[in-house]
Amino acid sequence: MRLSQMLFVTLREDPAEAEIPSHKLLLRGGYIRRIGSGIYAYLPLMWRVLQKVSQIVREEMNTAGGQECLLPQLQPSDLWKESGRWDTYTKAEGIMFSLTDRQERELGLGPTHEEVITTVAKEMIRSYRQLPVNLYQIQTKFRDEIRPRFGLMRGREFIMKDAYSFHASQESLQESYEAMDKAYRNIISRCGLAFRAVEADSGAIGGSASQEFMILAEAGEDEVLYTEDGKYAANVEKAVSLPIDAEISPFKKYEKKETPGTDTIEKLCKFLQCSPTNIVKNVLYKVVYDSGQMVLVLVSIRGDQVVNEVKLTNELVRLAPNYKAKTILVLGVPDETEQQKWAAKPLPLGYIAPDLEDGYIDKVKDVIPKFLRLVDQTAVELKNFVTGANENGYHVVGANWDKEFKLPSLVVDIRKATIGDRAIHDPTQILENARGIEVGHIFQLGIKYSQAMGATFTNEAGEENPMIMGCYGVGVSRLAQAAVEQSYDKDGIIWPVAIAPYHVVIIIPNISDKEQIEVAENIYTQLNKIGVETLLDDRDERAGVKFKDADLIGIPYRIVTGRSLKSGKVEVVERSTKKSQEIAIEEVVTTLKSWVNSAQN
C-alpha cells in the first residue's frame, strides 16, 4: 500500500479522551476513531491487525478441533428467559442492550452466545455418537458497560472469539478444556505477547473450573496474585491464600470499653494498643434478589482482612434458591434513607457487634428484611477478640465465640487474598502481584445451560442426559490493544511482527529524487511479491515527518532509500531496538524476508 493513497492521518498531540498509553497511541496513529461512548471505527491499519489476530485465533481453534460458524447477534428474549438470564443481563446488571422490534418482540444484542448455541445443539444433537463438538465464531459483541473506557479495552462493541463445546462426559469436557488451554497459550505466544494463565472466578457465565489469560501490563484492570515457583496464579477475585497468623490477644477478660472516635480499625488498634488481627470486624450489606426479596447480611471477618465482594456475591448467589431467587440485583452498604425503612434506631456504624440484629432491626416496620450472618474463616479462629458493642463509641474486648456471641452457622471464605500472603500449596511461597489485561477466559460450564434449556442426548446406555458444556472466549480487539500496552516506547507503538499491520515501511526521504524513488519502488514491489507486507511512504512530506509517523505506527522494520544509496546500500532500522544498519540494495529483500519469517516462528 502506498501511504499517499491511504486514508492516513496521524496526530501529534495526545487526544483528551485517552487515558492509557495504548489508547493514546492507537488514536494518534490513525488506527481507530471514536464514534460514540465505547464505540470505535477500526480504520484500515487497525483492521489489518485485527485480521491477523483473528487468523491466528482461527488456525489454533481449527487445530484444536473447533468448527467455525457464525451465530446471530440479535437474540430473541425467549432463549434468555429459558436459561434464566434475561432479567440479570438486561435489568440487574443491565449489560445486555435490548430492544423491541416492529412486532413488539423483545430482542437482546448478544454479549455472549450460550443460549443460542445451546438451542442449536438441542435441535441438532440427539446421540452420544455426535459428541464431542466444538463450535466457535469470531464476531462483534455488545455490552452496555457502566463505564466504557480505555478505547478497545472496555468498549461497548468489541470483537470476540467465542467457542462452545458439548460433551457426553466430564472426561471429554476435560480433554477439550485442556486443548483450549493449549490453543490459548499458542494464540497469545504467536501474537508475540507475555502472559500469565490464572485461576478465575466464573461470574455470571456460571460453571465450575475457569481460567483467565492475562496480558501483563501496568494499565491492566485486573490484579493477579502469583507465586515465584510458578505453581500458583489467580485473579485477585478468585485467589485464595493463607493469611498471616493472628497475634495473641492482649485481652484475657471480657469487658465492654468506652472507645470514643474509633470507627475505623486503625483508630481502634491505636486506642486499644492491639493488632488488627485481634479484632472481629462486622460489615453490613444490603442484598436485593431478583425475586424482590431483600436480605441484610452481616459479615464478620478478621480486622486486618478485606471482604472480597466477588466471593461474597458467589456465596449469596448460592443461597438464592432459599429466597426463590436466581440472582442478585443489588449488593451494597445500606445508607441512611435505606436504614430508616427497617432500623429500630440509628445503626451504630463503626461499632457493630456480630449480633446486630437484636434490637436494631425493627420487625414490625413495612419492609421486614431477612437477616443473615456470615463469618469468614479468619474470624472464626480468633480468641479473646475485640469487636463492636452495638453502641456508638463502645467496643467489647476479650470476647469469644459461643460464649458472648453465637458463632454464625455459615462459615465461608470471603476474604480478599493479597500480596504478602502465604500460598496454600506451599506456605513458604509468598504471593506477589502484577497487573494484567484479561484477553482470554475458558470455562467448564457443566450442565447449567443444557439442563435449563433441555439440551439432552442419549448416552450409550440409552439414557437421556443434559450435555456437558464448556465455553471459551478470546477478546480479539482487546488483545490487539493489549499488545500495544505491553509494547511501546516514547515514540510510539512497537508491534510484534506477527500482528503488525505491515512488516516493513519504506521511506523515500526526498520524493523529488528519482534514484530514491526508483530503488524504493523496486524493493516495494519485490517485498510485496514474496509476502513481506510493505508500506511505501511516497507522500510529499518532509523526511522528519515520515520518520516520526513510521515510529508512531510501529511498523517493525523501516527501510530508508537515502544517502547510503551512493554506496549501493539502504538503511534498515528495527523499530523495537532502533538499531540501524546499512544493507546492500540487492540483499535487502532476502534479508527482510528472513527476519520477518524468523520473528514469527
Which string of x and - marks every residue 123-142 that binds its own copies (by CB under 8 A)? xxx---xx--x-x---xx-x
C-beta closer to its own copies: residue 69 or 333: 69
Name the minimum Å distance from CB 105 to its own copies: 8
- Residue 329 is a binding residue for its own copies (CB under 8 A): no
Cell of residue 451, nine digits: 439442563
C-beta closer to its own copies: residue 26 or 107: 107
Single out the residue of 97, 41, 93, 37 nearest to residue 73, CA to CA.
97
Cα separation, 477 vs 458, whole angstroms? 39
- Residue 194 is a binding residue for its own copies (CB under 8 A): no
Using CB under 8 A as the binding rule, the residues of this chain from 275 to 304 that contact its own copies are none
Cα separation, 15 vs 39, whole angstroms? 16
Which string of x and - marks every residue 146-185 that binds its own copies (by CB under 8 A)? x---------xx----------------------------
Cα separation, 376 vs 405, whole angstroms? 15
Name the minimum Å distance from CB 434 to its own copies: 32
Name the minimum Å distance from CB 415 to its own copies: 32
Instruction: Give the strand pairing for 280-289 and 294-302.
Output: antiparallel
Cell of residue 242, nine digits: 493463607
C-beta closer to its own copies: residue 76 or 276: 76
Member of 30, 151, 348, 496 binding its own copies (CB under 8 A):
30
Q: Provide the 10 A C-beta neighbour count for residue 27.
A: 20
- Residue 83 is a binding residue for its own copies (CB under 8 A): no
Using CB under 8 A as the binding rule, the residues of this chain from 95 to 114 that contact its own copies are 97-99, 101-103, 105, 107, 109
- Residue 481 is a binding residue for its own copies (CB under 8 A): no
Cα separation, 557 vs 597, whole angstroms? 13
What is the greatest pairwise CA distance in the chain?
96
C-beta closer to its own copies: residue 48 or 569: 48
Count of residues in contact with its own copies, rule CB under 8 A? 61
Member of 18, 25, 56, 120 binding its own copies (CB under 8 A):
120
Which string of x and - marks every residue 9-28 that binds its own copies (by CB under 8 A)? x-------------------
SS (H, E, C) 463-530: CEEECEEEEEEEEHHHHHHHHHHHCEECCEECCCHHHCCCCEEEECCCCCCHHHHHHHHHHHHHHHHC
Single out the residue of 208, 204, 168 nearest to residue 310, CA to CA.
204
- Three-state DSSP at 379 gives helix
For the chain, what's the residue count?
A: 601
- Residue 92 is a binding residue for its own copies (CB under 8 A): no
Place of cell 500458583: 232
Instruction: Single out the segment in contact with its own copies by CB under 8 A; choices: 47-55, 236-244, 481-489, 513-521.
Output: 47-55
Name the minimum Å distance from CB 69 to its own copies: 5
Member of 15, 84, 94, 203 binding its own copies (CB under 8 A):
94
Member of 116, 224, 225, 431 binding its own copies (CB under 8 A):
116
Contact 275, 246 (CB under 8 A): yes
Cell of residue 94, nine digits: 443491565
Single out the residue of 260, 320, 247 nearest to residue 287, CA to CA.
320
Instruction: Give the strand pairing for 534-537 and 468-475.
Output: unpaired
Residue 458, judged by CB atoms within 10 A of its CB (0-12, 13-18, 19+), counts as middle
- Three-state DSSP at 376 gives strand
Cα separation, 39 vs 148, whole angstroms? 9
C-beta closer to its own copies: residue 109 or 474: 109
Name the minimum Å distance from CB 455 to its own copies: 13
Q: What is the DSSP string of 293-340?
A: -EEEEEEEEETT--B-HHHHHHHHHHHGGGGT-SSEEEEE---HHHHH
Name the minimum Å distance from CB 140 to its own copies: 6
Name the minimum Å distance from CB 66 to its own copies: 10
C-beta closer to its own copies: residue 34 or 326: 34
Using CB under 8 A as the binding rule, the residues of this chain from 535 to 564 that contact its own copies are 540
Member of 46, 188, 200, 589 binding its own copies (CB under 8 A):
46
Place of cell 463445546: 165
Name the minimum Å distance from CB 32 to its own copies: 10
Member of 61, 64, 71, 168 binding its own copies (CB under 8 A):
71
Member of 19, 63, 72, 406 binding its own copies (CB under 8 A):
72
C-beta closer to its own copies: residue 135 or 508: 135
Cell of residue 455, nine digits: 439440551
Binding site for its own copies (CB under 8 A): 1, 5-7, 9, 30, 33, 35-37, 39-44, 46-48, 50-51, 65, 67-76, 79, 94, 97-99, 101-103, 105, 107, 109, 116, 119-120, 123-125, 129-130, 133, 135, 139-140, 142, 144, 146, 156-157, 540
